[in-house]
Amino acid sequence: MMAANVLELKAVERRFIQGTKTLTILDGADFALQSGEMVALVAPSGTGKSTLLHIAGLLEHPDAGDVIVNGRPCNGLSDDSRTAIRRGEIGFVYQFHHLLPEFTALENVMMPQLISGLDRKEARDRAAQLLDYMKIGERVHHRPAELSGGEQQRVAIARAVANAPLVLLADEPTGNLDPVTASYVFEALEALVRQSGLAALIATHNESLAARMDRRVTLEGGKVVAMA
C-alpha cells in the first residue's frame, strides 16, 4: 500500500518584476511528498529553492497553481485558515536557528505548543521529551547563547516538530555548521523523521547528506525534476 501524499504542488507559478523585466522563478512546478519520506532539494543558489519552500509552507502565495496539504487545497483559503494549517501541520527549520534569545531551550520548544493552546505542563513534558530525543536533554535550561551551533539547531528542529506536524520543510538546516556537526545534526533529524513518519523536504548543498535521503530533486527551468 502506497503512502499518502501529505504535500502537493500543482502547476505552481511564481514571478517577480524587476524594473521592466519579469523574472520567472517557478513555471508550472509539480511536486508530491509522501508521509515518512525524506526528499533532498538540491539546486544552485538563485534557482528558487527558498521560494519553493515558502510557497509549499504557505508563507507565500503562488501566482498560479495550488498547494495541497493533507488533501486540502490551500490557494483559496483565508489568511487565518492558512495560518492554522502552518501552525498545526507544517514545521520549518532554517539555516539560522532563529531561537528566542531570552528563553531557554525548553521554553523555545514549549512556545509553539502554548500558542496552539496546549496546557503548560503538557507543553513542558513534550518539549523535554523532544529535546531528550535530540540528545540535548541535559541542556534544556540553557539559553541559545550558551549552546553550540549544533545544539542550537537541534533545539530549532525540536521546536519545528513540537506541534506534531505532518510536513517538515528545511532550508539548508546544516549549512551553517562544520561537516562533523552537520552530520550529527542530520542523524538526529533523520531519526526523528523515521520514527514519527513525518514527511520532510530538505534544501541542501551538501551532496553527502542528500545521498542519504530517499530521493533527490532539483529545479530546472522553473520545474521540479528528479535527479539521477
pTM of the shown model:
0.88
pLDDT band at 2 (very low <50, low <70, confident <90, very high): low
What are the pLDDT digits (tens) for 178-194?
888 888 888 888 888 88
What are the pLDDT digits (tens) for 28-69?
999 999 998 999 999 888 888 889 999 999 999 999 999 999
**Average pLDDT value over all residues in the chain:** 89
User: Please, what's the b/e burial string for 149-171 (b: 16 or more CB within 10 A of its CB; e: otherwise)?
Assistant: bbbbbbbbbbbbbbbebbbbbbb
Arithmetic mean of pLDDT, 85-92: 90
**What residue has cell string 530538505?**
202
What are the pLDDT digits (tens) for 162-173?
988 999 999 888
pLDDT at 1 over 60: no
